């Protein structure tokens, strides 16, 4: 993490909330701005200036677009300028090395690789800040004239480095005026602790299995062990990323903000189209609003619709990282979704729900191989091993050992990735009296257990910090 887990939870958060809640209303945004800059600068002392510059570009563009509201060409010029500057910064820091390496390989030349370090969360805060400028151009929001308030929006520390991607329109009213209540803060604390539990108790533990599998030479990897590994990553990335999103949304509620939810039990999806309506919801919504619909969406015939889908999914893959693995990962989903729209969706509708869930889950698991196995060649060998064509055989003694060791964790992860635990808890709260008093006890107990795990934890960042 940007901070160590213990520093963040037990020092940074209490200090921020102490000053936040004792401060008068007019000072609260300054407290949030300072805490956001400090949180980011702790891990990126230089690149915090890059984030401030990017935000300042969009803030200035918003003012100019509002000022020249009756000058269409000028408004377009300011929008294009903001897009070029922000996306140019993203391209230089995230994609320059990828471009140079591929150009060198394609043309046999030797351009210098800039090898720039990737600023934490640059994809998230760039998209977040751009949403303000684009919505201003489309006249969907009112201009924010207070620079401090705008910078507070961009630097909100709960979700600054890994989302959810909060559009300005999501929190426009709350940036200027919001209420903090005991009930909302209580709800936020509960959501934060649930997210912390997902990360510390589930993602970290099941992720240890994937680390073991990845460290095993592919030539020595049995098929069973490969399946255990990629299934472990399937649950690790879900509980890691959704855990962070829950923590971010929970912290937002404590301070009076309502951030959009980012996950809705995606592994219960009955199609890939549904999966992407449930997984990383704010990213899908961003691409739909600012890429798919402006390209024409599904309004201009089948051919244009398919083209638009491929463009969106190519960009979705590229957004996640500068490698052909991510590009192919995005195109992979684009092709599946196109097939579902053309004919596969109608066939799926005729099948039992269980088969549809298995279909969706299997394709998602296959996608995670591309996502996290470095290099296309390595991913290809991993696929071969999954389907019994590797050199390590079908299973060995270590395969059975890993299965027995992680079986309970797998069962908990499977149940935790569904809405059944939530339904059971809600029924208990309705059926039995005074069970609501058990909620604070559960939250406190979860916090204590997470603390015990964090005390002995090594450095273990959230997976999506690298994007």
Cα–Cα dist 218/222, whole Å: 8
User: Number of helices and strands (H, E) in the chain?
Assistant: 22, 0
pLDDT in tens, 417-443: 999 888 887 777 666 665 566 777 788
Return the pLDDT at 1: 43
What's the number of CA atoms in the CB half-sphere (13 Å) around residue 304?
A: 10
| Three-class secondary structure of residue 387 per DSSP | coil
Among all chains, which residue has been given the structure tokens 């935000």? 55
Nearest to 317 by CA among 325, 309, 306: 325
| pLDDT value of position 2 | 43
pLDDT attached to residue 39: 82
Query: What pLDDT is stored for residue 56 in this prediction?
Result: 95
pLDDT reported for residue 40: 80
> Which of 28, 94, 214, 320 is an active site residue?
320
| Domain boundaries along the sequence of the chain | 5-178, 184-466
Environment class of residue 19 by beta-carbon count within 10 Å: exposed (0-12), middle (13-18) or buried (19+)?
A: middle
Of all helices (H) and strands (E), which one includes residue 390? none
pLDDT digits (tens, 9 = 90+) for 138-176: 999 999 999 999 999 998 888 776 769 999 999 988 998
pTM (two decimals) = 0.91
Q: Which two tokens stand for residue 122?
A: 């640059």
Residue 225: what pLDDT? Answer: 96
How far apart CA 273 and CA 345 sit, in angstroms, is 9
**What is the DSSP annotation of 235-301?**
HHHHHHHHHHHHHHHHHHHHTT--PPP--S-GGG-SSHHHHHHHSSHHHHHHHIIIIITTTTTTSS-
Q: Would you call 204 helix, strand, or coil by DSSP?
A: helix
In SS3 terms, 60-107 reads as HHHHHHHHCCCCHHHHHHHHHHHHHHHHHHHHHHHHHHHHHHHHHHHH
Tell me the C-alpha distance between 398 and 401, whole Å.
Answer: 5
Cβ proximity of 277 and 260 under 8 Å: no
> Is 320 assigned a catalytic role?
yes
- Comparing CA positions, the residue from 231, 258, 242 lying closest to residue 362 is 231
**So what's the pLDDT on residue 107?**
83
Low-confidence ranges of the chain (pLDDT < 70): 1-7, 43-44, 161, 163, 429-437, 457-467
Q: Find out whether 123 and 94 touch, Cβ atoms under 8 Å.
A: yes
Return the pLDDT at 214: 93
């Amino acid at each position: 993490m940007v901070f160590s887990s213990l520093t963040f939870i037990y020092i940074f958060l209490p200090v921020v909330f102490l000053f936040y809640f004792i401060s008068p209303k007019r000072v609260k945004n300054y407290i949030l701005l300072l805490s956001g800059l400090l949180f980011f600068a702790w891990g990126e002392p230089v690149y915090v200036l890059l984030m401030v510059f990017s935000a300042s570009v969009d803030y200035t563009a918003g003012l100019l677009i509002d000022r020249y509201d009756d000058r269409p060409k000028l408004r377009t010029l300011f929008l294009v300028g903001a897009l070029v500057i922000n996306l140019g910064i993203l391209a230089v820091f995230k994609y320059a090395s990828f471009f140079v390496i591929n150009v060198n390989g394609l043309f046999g030349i030797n351009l210098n690789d800039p090898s720039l370090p990737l600023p934490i969360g640059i994809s998230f805060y760039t998209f977040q800040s751009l949403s303000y400028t684009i919505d201003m151009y489309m006249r969907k929001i009112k201009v924010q004239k207070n620079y401090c308030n705008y910078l507070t929006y961009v630097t909100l520390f709960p979700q600054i480095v890994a989302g959810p991607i909060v559009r300005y329109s999501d929190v426009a009213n709350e940036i200027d005026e919001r209420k903090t209540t005991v009930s909302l803060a209580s709800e936020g604390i509960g959501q934060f602790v649930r997210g912390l539990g997902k990360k510390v108790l589930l993602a970290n533990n099941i992720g240890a299995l994937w680390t073991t599998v990845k460290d095993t030479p592919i030539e020595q990897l049995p098929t069973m062990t490969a399946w255990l590994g990629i299934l472990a990553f399937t649950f690790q990335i879900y509980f890691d990323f959704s855990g962070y999103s829950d923590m971010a949304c929970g912290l937002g509620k404590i301070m009076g903000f309502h951030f959009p939810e980012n996950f809705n039990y995606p592994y219960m999806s009955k199609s890939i189209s549904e999966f992407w309506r449930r997984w990383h919801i704010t990213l899908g919504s961003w691409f739909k609003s600012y890429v798919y619909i402006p390209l024409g969406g599904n309004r201009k015939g089948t051919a244009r619709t398919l083209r638009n889908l491929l463009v969106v999914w190519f960009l979705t893959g590229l957004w996640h990282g500068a490698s052909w693995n991510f590009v192919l990962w995005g195109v992979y989903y684009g092709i599946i979704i196109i097939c579902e729209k053309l004919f596969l969706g109608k066939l799926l509708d005729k099948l039992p729900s269980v088969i549809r869930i298995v279909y969706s889950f299997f394709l998602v698991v296959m996608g995670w191989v591309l996502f996290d196995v470095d290099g296309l060649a390595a991913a290809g060998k991993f696929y071969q091993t999954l389907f019994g064509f590797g050199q390590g055989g079908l299973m060995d003694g270590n395969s059975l050992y890993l299965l027995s060791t992680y079986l309970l964790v797998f069962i908990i992860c499977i149940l935790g990735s569904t809405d059944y635990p939530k339904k059971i808890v809600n029924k208990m709260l309705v059926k039995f009296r005074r069970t609501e008093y058990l909620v604070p006890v559960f939250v406190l107990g979860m916090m204590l257990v997470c603390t015990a795990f964090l005390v002995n934890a090594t450095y273990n960042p959230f997976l999506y910090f690298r994007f």
